[in-house]
Amino acid sequence: MFRSPSRPPGAARSFTAPGAALLLCALAGPVPLSASPIAAPLDAETLVDAVLASNPGIDALRAGTEAAEARARAAGALPDPRLGITVAPAALDGFETGGGRHRDPTGAVELRQDLPWPGTLGLREAVSRAEARAGRDAEAALRLELAATARIRHAEWAYVHAALAVNERTASLVEALREVAEDRYAAGLASQQDPLQAEVEVQRLRAQALTLEGRRAGIRSALNALLDRDAEAVLPAPGALPTAGSTPPFDTLRALARSRHPDLHAMRQRVEAQQGRAALREKAFYPDLSITAGHNGYRPAEETRFTVGVGITLPLDRDRRRAELDAARAETARMRHALRDRESRLLAEVSAARAAAERARATVALVRDALLPRSRETLDAARSAYASGDGSFLDVITAERQLLNTELELERARADHAIARAELMRDTGGPLPAPEAAAEETTP
């Protein structure tokens, strides 16, 4: 009987609220305006390229990162200098000095430049640049997630097409069996039950085909949403799934995930940025400086009119600064723990996806090399026995159902293997190393 596809293997994903919102926007996209044609057959990597080229979520993150990089360039700049001009309104037409001398209109001018405590500007720029790098990593993480989703949907697209092909072949077989049963019943060599059983099996296969057609329509809609196309836009038939080869050892996959996964990179950059903020809180215990230069035309002596000076802030509220520093350090510790937690969960996902891939590979080999040939032999033997009058039609139908389930199990295992490898690519941060040479797989 038809077996519904299982949930894609691998551990469940978890997202923060902003990450989930970005992913939902990326998966949904705006209202599609057109349906660009896609070359047939639709293979997984062509689909991935099309999704990454058309999805607006990536463009949104890229623009945000460019904005963060622009802010980083400004973060290390000195504050603008201040220019002050002072005049005495009553002396705008000039004035008389105490010695009876007439003075022309004048005023006082002061230029001031604030200077943060040494190292503050560098820390501000480092914090901003770390946040910008985290933005780049977030963009890479979204690309990974979208690519994995595209590969998983492609595997389901391939499965449902293969299952419909199996259903069609089986329906043709059962139609032929029904004709044989009707001929034997007309000749008095079989009971009426035989053609009735064949008719029931024909209708059961038609019901199964309707279910598969509905699933195909749902997958098509999901793929078109990824491609930013109309939900009912035509999609080409899928290309063949990759051969179910072996996967690299867990130690290799673990090293890849730790070294290149953008989620971990982004969290490390955010930890670095938070460490910079804590260092800035330490700088807050020291005074900021200012230098001034001015000219006061109201002063009577020429020697005292030009002035220079230095000023400092007075960081008197040390309790407030200590509380802010403690909060920044606690936040740094929280982010480090979150990084370790994310790494542990990521490695668990890698392990689960690898186990699923190996399980699916073993299932493909078992079904293809052992179960499928035996199921075909069983059906051939049952048909021969029925034709010669030594077997029952129920044995033929049972063998036919066994072959149908075996063929569907093989296609399901192939799809599950492709899904598990897609999850491994997502969880390790990119393409997998070349697997060991695998036996050539032939499609029945």
Could you report the per-residue pLDDT of 289-342, keeping only the tens digit for each?
999 999 988 787 788 889 999 999 999 999 999 999 999 999 999 999 999 999
Q: How far is CA 53 from CA 22, 47, 209, in A?
A: 17, 10, 34
Report the alpha-carbon distance of residue 25 to residue 27 in Å, rounded: 6
Query: What single letter denotes the amino acid at residue 259?
Result: S
What region, left, alpha or beta, does residue 240 occupy, with left being phi > 0 and alpha being psi -120 to 50 degrees?
beta
Per-residue pLDDT, averaged over 142-164, amounts to: 96
Find all residues with CB under 8 Å of 121, minimum gap 6, and list them.
75, 76, 77, 78
Among candidate residues 229, 215, 207, 211, the one with its CA nearest the CA of residue 158? 215
Q: What share of the chain is helix, strand, coil (3-state, %, to 5)?
A: 65, 10, 25
Provide the pLDDT confidence category of residue 188 given band limits of 50, 70 and 90: confident
Report the alpha-carbon distance of residue 223 to residue 209 in Å, rounded: 21
Range scoring the smallest mean pLDDT among 133-147, 178-192, 264-278: 178-192
Could you report the per-residue pLDDT of 232-256, keeping only the tens digit for each?
999 999 988 988 888 999 999 999 9
What is the percent of the chain where pLDDT is above 70?
A: 87
Per-residue buried b or exposed e for 228-247, using 16+ beta carbons within 10 Å of the residue's own CB: bbeeebebeebbebbebbeb
Name the more confident of 283 and 240. 283
pLDDT for 377 equals 96
pLDDT for 302 equals 80
What region, left, alpha or beta, does residue 356 occupy, with left being phi > 0 and alpha being psi -120 to 50 degrees?
alpha
What's the mean per-residue pLDDT of the chain? 87
Provide the pLDDT confidence category of residue 40 given band limits of 50, 70 and 90: confident
Query: Does position 62 have pLDDT exceeding 60, yes or no?
Result: yes
Name the more confident of 374 and 23. 374
Per-residue pLDDT, averaged over 164-178, amounts to: 94
Query: What single letter denotes the amino acid at residue 233?
Result: A
pLDDT for 305 equals 87
pTM for the full model? Answer: 0.80
pLDDT for 300 equals 76
**∠ CA(82), CA(87), CA(293), 5° rounding?**
35
Among candidate residues 229, 211, 262, 254, the one with its CA nearest the CA of residue 65? 262
pLDDT for 364 equals 96
pLDDT for 87 equals 87
Report the alpha-carbon distance of residue 314 to residue 321 in Å, rounded: 12
Among candidate residues 403, 396, 364, 360, the one with its CA nearest the CA of residue 381? 396
Query: Does position 6 have pLDDT exceeding 80, yes or no?
Result: no
pLDDT for 16 equals 45
- Helices (H) and strands (E) counted in the chain, each on its own, are 10, 6
pLDDT for 29 equals 47
Report the alpha-carbon distance of residue 350 to residue 79 in Å, rounded: 48
Query: Does position 359 have pLDDT exceeding 80, yes or no?
Result: yes
Angle between helix axes 17-28 and 56-75 (nearest 10 degrees) is 130
Could you report the per-residue pLDDT of 92-151, keeping only the tens digit for each?
777 666 666 667 778 889 999 999 999 999 999 999 999 999 999 999 999 999 999 999
Report the alpha-carbon distance of residue 374 to residue 399 in Å, rounded: 10
pLDDT for 21 equals 46
The pairing of strands 95-96 and 289-296 is unpaired
pLDDT for 89 equals 79
